[in-house]
Chain A
Amino acid sequence: MAKITLSTLAHSYLDNPKSDDDYALKPIDHIWEDGAAYALLGPSGCGKTTLLNIISGLLKPSSGKILFDDFDVTDNDTSTRNIAQVFQFPVVYDTMTVKENLAFPLKNRGLDADYIEKRVSEIAKMISLDDILDKKTNGLTADVKQKISLGRGLVREDVNAILFDEPLTVIDPKMKWELRTQLKAIHQKLGHTMIYVTHDQTEALTFADKVIVMSDGEVVQIGTPTELFEKPEHTFVGYFIGSPGMNIIPAKVNGHKAIIGDHEIILNDTYGKLDGKVELGIRPEFIKFSDDPNALPITINRIEDVGHYKIARTRFQNHDINIIINEGDDFSKDMHGIIFDTEKINIYENDWRVDP
């Protein structure tokens, strides 16, 4: 186990990267604390897997350093880093039994047979593979195979970190919940540093203590699930997290007033002078319908019923505004005004959040 430090780490798949756009991973400085559970969240192609492969050593970074406990491992190859990684698609050694699969990483390190036996049965029990240990692995279903891959990742006790690269993509929804809960439990039990890559926000938010949101090869925010929800540092985080995402509305901000179109909203905080593109961000959860004549006048386009709540797709002048209507909320179809919960408003300048 180790603390992992990334120091101005960057990577480009091109030999001679010229502009910023050539980088799959833009320079990043970050410390992964020992024993924490992290999620790397972002859309496909944002550099998550690149970052993961650099940590495990499958990929050499174009520049920057990576340290394990202050020890530079940038040039060390994967096998000496002692990192476990679980891939998106299950990788099992088909000619081996489930047991042999789980024992493989331990055997390769030349560990004692008795210990291997003990450790394998321990892990097998943990991820409930113990009743099929002697089965051959080909012919098993995808989710069992992925469990085996997970097991191979967990089997080494002294591993520096366990990396998961969207490991639940091929698993069906019911098993997904089960495995995710198991993973969380295993993390609490074993205390390994875990980094979990995903593009699924629910997965990220339920698994991790800290979520790292990436976009376009860049880390846009690192924070707890609550922070990501209430104070997205970047408009991208705002609309990527949440379903539907945050409403981002162009606005003029003047002191403690925000002007949207010709409508004025009084803010809780006072802002200094803002340049460039200024926007107001408010989550659909924090908007209420109202009869108040001073409310923001909107037209309702349609109402979507998602089961335990409804989503109102509305329009104010040229801007789409989504609103979540919870059961028991005051709402009727002829309400044509909305009120923002001013405490939950964030103001963005050139896509980045401004502190009041």
Chain B
Amino acid sequence: MKKTQNQKAWFMVLPVLILVAFSAIIPMMTVVNYSVQDTFGNNEFFWVGLEWFEEVLHSERIHDALWRQILFTVIILAIEIPLGIFMALHMPKKNGLWTSICLVVVALPLLIPWNVVGTIWQIFGRIDIGLLGYTLDQLGISYNYTQDTFDAWFTIIIMDVWHWTSLVLLLSYAGLRSIPDAYYQAAKIDQASRWSVFRYIELPKMKGVLIIAILLRFMDSFMIYTEPFVVTGGGPGNATTFLSIDLVKMAIGQFDLGPAAAFSLIYFLVILLVSWVFYTTMVNMDKENE
């Protein structure tokens, strides 16, 4: 008996392949193309091999941007994750009008476009007309995000926390809501403290959604561009120039397409790698428990 092989089924995946090719593979190949060539204009390109990659990897400017980026991501994760969980724990537990109002209110920042968020905070922090800036100034606290590095960081971090903590909150809240009442009742019967309830019931049950929340916030914050660009433009000096801002400066501002392309690819691989490492460790941790 010979099994007939019919390979026609491969045609079924063709539409997806075409779609992915146009949406991801072809644009990315253009970038790859730029990253290994140089040009003197007139659409004349010549091969430079891995030169751009070497340049980017040894560039102090990019190293600095990377450290700023890592610092920023670590800080916002350290604030947003615990804060989001804390707020989720204090959301109303029963379904009702009050719960709906709370949910809408906390979800509002998520619905605002990035550059609008940036503009809001840019104005909010101004000493002359912004509520935050004006108030701080009147209280005698020297605050100026356009000139002071600390103030610039402070503003951007608060802005990100304001914009994105809700995401962590909503995901955690969904996780919390899926815990059956019996768990809380059993904990009461067992005379567990509030902390034990959190540690042994709520946290384990939220773990799945928290992995997603951390991953999303990591990727997003690592790629942040619009909001700090609108608020500080990367300044003062280069104090808030994160990777994306630096990349855009390099590609559009200086028109160094080669290094910028190499930079993009490295950037992409870093995010991919970190996300992958992150995800596999989290998932493995989960498996070990079983």
Contacts and interface: CB of A to CB of B under 8 A. Distances in A.
B198 to A, nearest CB: 12
B196 interface: yes
Nearest to B205: A94
Given A96-B200, A136-B289, A139-B290, A91 B182 contact: yes
A199 to B, nearest CB: 18
B47 interface: no
B180 interface: yes
A78 B289 contact: no
Nearest to B203: A95
B178 to A, nearest CB: 14
B60 to A, nearest CB: 45
Interface residues of A, number: 28
Contacts of A153: 189
Given A136-B289, A136-B290, A108 B193 contact: yes
A109 B204 CA distance: 23
Contacts of A83: 189
Contacts of B186: 85, 87, 91, 149, 152
Contacts of B196: 104, 108
B185 A79 contact: no
A229 B141 CA distance: 84
State the majority secondary structure of interface residues on B: helix
Contacts of B193: 108
B188 interface: yes
B201 interface: yes
Nearest to B290: A139
Contact of B190 (A95, A104, A139): A104
A108 B192 CA distance: 6
A139 to B, nearest CB: 5
A83 to B, nearest CB: 7
B177 to A, nearest CB: 17
A139 B204 CA distance: 14
Contact of B289 (A53, A108, A138, A152): A138
Given A108-B190, A152-B190, A87 B289 contact: no
B183 interface: yes
B254 interface: no
A56 interface: yes
Contact of A58 (B185, B192, B200): B185
A79 B290 contact: no
By CB atoms of chain B within 10 A, which of A85, A89, A109 has the most? Answer: A85
B190 A77 contact: no
Contacts of A35: none
B191 A79 contact: yes
A138 B200 contact: no
A153 B189 CA distance: 9
A84 B189 contact: yes
A43 interface: no
B284 to A, nearest CB: 15
Interface in A299-336: none
Interface in A102-146: 104-105, 108-109, 136, 138-139
Given A58-B185, A87-B185, A94 B190 contact: no
Interface in A46-103: 53, 56-58, 77-79, 83-85, 87-89, 91, 93-96
B201 to A, nearest CB: 7
A95 B200 CA distance: 7
Contacts of A93: 200-201, 204
Contacts of B190: 104-105, 108, 152
Given A136-B289, A149-B186, A109 B191 contact: yes
Interface in B179-220: 180, 182-183, 185-186, 188-193, 196, 200-201, 204
Most buried by B among A56, A77, A78, A88: A78
B180 A85 contact: no
A105 B196 CA distance: 11
Interface of B: 180, 182-183, 185-186, 188-193, 196, 200-201, 204, 289-290
Given A53-B185, A84-B189, 4 more contacts: A77-B188, A91-B182, A96-B200, A138-B289
12 contacts: A57-B188, A58-B185, A78-B189, A83-B189, A85-B185, A85-B186, A87-B186, A95-B200, A136-B289, A139-B290, A149-B186, A152-B186
